[in-house]
């Protein structure tokens, strides 16, 4: 169960998302914050796995909120959600620690997929926003902060899926790759992290609140 908080000035957007996720028993919108301050307040007592954060928020804007959010709750995943694709917005959000950038206007499928990718440790950037992302900017590694130890995006995705009690076979299906590739990723990660068992990986993922 993924608990989501929607931070958007408009109630109707939150309701729209609720509607879109109505048939997803694994995704639940647990709260709606109309401002950045309200969001930060809610996070003090509401448990959430993912924030859908609009860039345009009254008062303390999305970027500002993102910065505070990332400092105060470094483990929580944030998917920027905005109608704006201007380069300064996209980059700023990613620099401040957003795990992806979803452009408003996409369909339900993109929404679900973006959430899935984000929750799996990946980084979803909508095509429209992707062009704005600075070339060579390692946006997907932002969330690793100072302790970035050289895991690739795919490798992180594999870790998270392993931590979700999945076998190489299942992970292969989810990621649309062969189980052998999953094993390769797994091996590399274990070498990099210097662990000998899956438990070590799971521990790593949990310590970083990836799951």
Partner DNA sequence: GGAACAATACCCAGAAAGAGGGATTTCGCG
Partner DNA sequence: CGCGAAATCCCTCTTTCTGGGTATTGTTCC
Binding region for a copy of itself (CB under 8 A):
162-167, 195-203, 206, 211
108 contact, one of DNA, a copy of itself, none, CB 5-8 Å limit per kind: none
Of 91, 90, 77, the C-alpha closest to 120 is 77
Q: Under the criterion CB under 7 A, does residue 164 sit at the interface with DNA?
A: no
Q: Under the criterion CB under 7 A, does residue 177 sit at the interface with DNA?
A: yes
Please list, in sequence order, all residues whose beta carbon lies within 8 angstroms of the beta carbon of residue 134, skipping any fewer than 6 positions away: 87, 91
Return the ∠ at Cα 119 (arms to 172 and 115), rounded to 5°.
100
Say whether 13 sits in a helix, a strand or coil: helix
Q: Closest CB to DNA among 9 and 95?
A: 95
Residue 4 CA to residue 116 CA, distance in Å, equals 12
Of the candidates 153, 164, 193, 203, which one interacts with DNA according to CB under 7 A? 153
Q: Give the max Cα distance, the chain.
A: 50
Residue 83 CA to residue 54 CA, distance in Å, equals 8
Q: Closest CB to a copy of itself among 131 and 165?
A: 165
Smallest gap from residue 137 Cβ to DNA (A): 8
Q: Closest CB to a copy of itself among 41 and 165?
A: 165
Distances from the Cα of 181 to the Cα of 161, 164, 170, angstroms: 14, 18, 12
Of the candidates 150, 173, 206, 209, which one interacts with DNA according to CB under 7 A? 150
Of 78, 159, 173, 164, the C-alpha closest to 118 is 78
Residue 10 CA to residue 76 CA, distance in Å, equals 23
Smallest gap from residue 119 Cβ to a copy of itself (A): 14
Q: Under the criterion CB under 7 A, does residue 206 sit at the interface with DNA?
A: no
192, 149 contact by CB (below 8 A): yes
What's phi and psi for 81, nearest 5 deg? -140, 110
Smallest gap from residue 49 Cβ to a copy of itself (A): 13
Residues 110-149 that bind DNA (CB under 7 A): 135-136
Q: Closest CB to a copy of itself among 176 and 196?
A: 196
Q: Under the criterion CB under 7 A, does residue 198 sit at the interface with DNA?
A: yes
Q: Under the criterion CB under 7 A, does residue 42 sit at the interface with DNA?
A: no
Residues that bind DNA (CB under 7 A): 135-136, 150, 152-155, 162, 167-169, 172, 175, 177-181, 183-187, 190-191, 196-198
């Amino acid at each position: 169960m993924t608990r989501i908080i929607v931070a958007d000035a408009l109630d109707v957007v939150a309701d729209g998302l609720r509607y879109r996720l109505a048939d997803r028993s694994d995704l639940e919108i647990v709260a709606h914050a109309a401002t950045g301050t309200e969001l930060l307040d809610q996070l003090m007592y509401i448990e959430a796995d993912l924030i859908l954060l609009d860039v345009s928020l009254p008062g303390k804007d999305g970027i500002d909120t993102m910065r505070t959010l990332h400092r105060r709750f470094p483990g929580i995943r944030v998917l920027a959600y905005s109608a704006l694709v201007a380069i300064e917005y996209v980059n700023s959000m990613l620099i401040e620690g957003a795990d992806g950038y979803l452009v408003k206007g996409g369909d339900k499928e993109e929404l679900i997929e973006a959430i899935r990718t984000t929750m799996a440790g990946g980084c979803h950037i909508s095509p429209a926003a992707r062009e704005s992302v600075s070339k060579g900017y390692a946006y997907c590694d932002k969330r690793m902060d100072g302790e970035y130890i050289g895991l690739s995006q795919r490798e992180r995705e594999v870790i998270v899926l392993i931590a979700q009690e999945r076998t190489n076979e299942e992970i292969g299906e989810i990621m649309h790759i062969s189980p052998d590739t999953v094993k390769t990723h797994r091996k590399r990660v274990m070498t990099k992290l210097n662990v000998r068992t899956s438990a070590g990986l799971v521990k790593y993922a949990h310590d970083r609140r990836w799951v």
